[in-house]
Amino acid sequence: MILIEAKGISYSVQIGKGQYKTIVDDIDLKIEKGSITGIIGRNGAGKSSLIKILSGLIVPTQGDILLDGKDISHYSSRELALKRSVLSQEIPVSFGLSVLDILLMGRFPHGNLSLEDYKIVDEVIESLNLNDLLDTSYPSLSGGERQKVQFGRALCQLLPFEEKNRDKVLFLDEPLSALDLSVQQMILKRISELVRKYKLTVVFVLHDLNYIAKHCSKIYLLEKGRCALEGSSYEVFTEANLLKYFEVDTQILKSEQKYPIMIFN
């Protein structure tokens, strides 16, 4: 079943008097419930802008976005916040707030904080090993620690995944760029668990092509704002495609788990 559908979406920005630059150009896509979708491409291809459009953070110049069959522009801010959460590359510096404050912010769309809200935040704290950081000033954290905390906030916003309300989306725009390898693996494992257990829908922008190949059921490759390729990992990740769109020589190996493994020469 389709959870997100984009119909002919484009996005342009003004770069001068009477001059516009097209960032996203006439893209159609469909994202199924409970799937992990990867959006890939070189820097400047329009990936981050596409994530912002799909999540309702920015309005497309033209085209429509349907979220669970409803035009995304018809959701109130609170309704949208309960339906989806976004972890972007741009992590705001929140002066005067502690790590615990940031995590609790994820519960604001749910109304006044209750005992249940604190239980959910405690669950996220334990799952991400954030106990030692709770009283720390958020601006004093390293870039990697901030990303980890913001991932926790995103989870606090979406939980709980009740049977009657599981159709939720987590948008992740390069969530691992400043993280240590061990923390990367912990977060990726947590995401996989949520997809498997609760049928959470995840949309990734990620430069780790081998992770995309292993975990994503559908991949969209952007080139200059347009969707150049879409399909499964074996359809998108061919030696010819990687040379054409990323200018890298690659050897493709088949794994026993039926996804390609890329070795970059």
Which of residues 40 and 89 earns the better pLDDT score?
40
Beta bridge partners of 222: 227
Report the predicted TM-score, pTM, of the whole model to 2 decimal places: 0.92
150: Cβ contacts below 8 Å, ≥ 6 apart: 87, 91, 102
Give the DSSP letter of residue 98.
Answer: B
- State the DSSP H helix or E strand holding residue 147, giving kind and residue range, or none if neither: helix 143-158
What 3-state class would DSSP assign to 255?
coil
**pLDDT value, residue 95:** 76
Measured CA to CA, the distance from residue 207 to residue 35 in angstroms comes to 19
Give the domains, in start order, of the chain with CATH numbers: 2-91+166-264 (3.40.50.300)
- Give 81-133 pLDDT, tens digit per residue: 999 999 987 666 667 899 999 999 999 999 999 999 999 999 999 989 999 99
The two three-digit tokens of residue 162, written as one number = 């009740």
Measured CA to CA, the distance from residue 182 to residue 230 in angstroms comes to 31
99: Cβ contacts below 8 Å, ≥ 6 apart: 130, 133, 134, 135, 136, 138, 141, 149
- Give 150-187 pLDDT, tens digit per residue: 999 999 999 887 665 568 999 999 887 767 788 888 88
List the Cα angle 238/6/78 in 5-degree steps: 125
107 φ/ψ angles, rounded to the nearest 5 degrees: -95, -5
Strands, E assignment, 118-255: 169-173, 201-205, 218-223, 226-231, 250-254
Which of residues 166 and 57 earns the better pLDDT score?
57
Residue whose C-alpha is closest to residue 247's, from 264, 226, 222: 264
Measured CA to CA, the distance from residue 5 to residue 157 in angstroms comes to 23
